Each structure stands twice: as C-alpha cells, then as structure tokens.
C-alpha cells in the first residue's frame, strides 16, 4: 500500500453523474431567469394603457399558474423531488417578482408616486 486512495471506478462514475445533474439543474434555473428578465426589459413599460397593463398582468398570471402546475407535475414524478422543488421555486419566483414589479411601477407612474415612497419609482435602466 502506498497510502494513496483512488476511488473505485463505479464511485467515480457516480460522482460524474452527480456533477452532470447539478450542471443541468443550474442551467434549468438560469435559462428561465434570464428569459424572464430579458422579456421584462424588452416590454414597453412607459407607454402602455391601463387595459394593456391589465391584459399583460392577466396573461402573466395565467402563465405563472401553468408553470406552477407543470413544475408540480415534474416534482411528483422526479426521483429527487427536493432538488426539483428548489429548481421550481428558483424558476417561478422571478416570474412572480417581475409581474408584480411591473404592475407596481405602472401604478406608481399612473398615480405619480406611491404613498410612503419619497422618490419616483424607476426601472433599473432609467437614470
């Protein structure tokens, strides 16, 4: 014995599989977050009427509910439901935040200011 331990081939293969699964989990979280943030910045925020804003909110809520239902179905059928639940939470949370951030900004823009807020509400990209 030389004192060095080398993992068994089976254990090394399992470790590679775990890293591959973790990589896919990260990709399944980051891609939808990037898409939601990109759509948030590409949608016109300044010149939409109340009807358009409500329509976008309703469509967004329907998409959010459909996404949650789809994620629940995936969690139930997954061999690692805890990991899949964290992925689902990380995927649906940005959509929820962006939907209501957009609506709050439109309300603040329409009302002039939100009570209790001392400065105008702006998007991240506005100066």
pLDDT tens, position by position, 68-124: 999 999 999 988 888 888 888 988 888 888 888 777 766 666 554 555 555 655 555
Classify residue 121: in a domain, yes or no: no
- Tell me the average pLDDT across 16-23: 80
Determine the structural domain holding residue 17 and report its residue range: 10-111
Percent of the chain with pLDDT over 70: 65
CA distance 65 to 70: 9
Q: Is the pLDDT of residue 66 over 90?
A: yes
Q: How many domains does the chain have?
A: 1
Residue 119 lies in a domain: no
Judge whether 117 lies within some domain.
no
Q: Is 78 a member of any domain?
A: yes
Q: Is residue 126 part of a domain?
A: no
Instruction: Give CA–CA dist 116/108, Å, rounded.
Output: 11
Residue 88, domain member (yes or no):
yes
pLDDT of residue 62 exceeding 70, the answer is yes
pLDDT exceeds cutoff 50 at 127? no
């Amino acid at each position: 014995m030389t004192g060095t331990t080398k993992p068994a081939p089976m254990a090394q293969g399992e470790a590679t599989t775990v890293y591959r699964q973790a990589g896919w989990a990260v990709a399944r979280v980051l891609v939808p977050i990037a898409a939601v943030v990109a759509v948030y910045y590409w949608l016109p925020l300044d010149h939409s009427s109340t009807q358009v804003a409500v329509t976008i909110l309703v469509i967004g809520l329907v998409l959010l509910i459909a996404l949650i239902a789809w994620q629940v179905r995936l969690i139930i059928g997954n061999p690692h439901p805890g990991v899949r639940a964290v992925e689902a939470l990380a995927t649906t949370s940005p959509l929820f935040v962006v939907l209501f951030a957009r609506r709050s900004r439109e309300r603040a823009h329409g009302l002039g200011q939100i009570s209790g807020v001392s400065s105008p509400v702006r998007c991240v990209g506005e100066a």
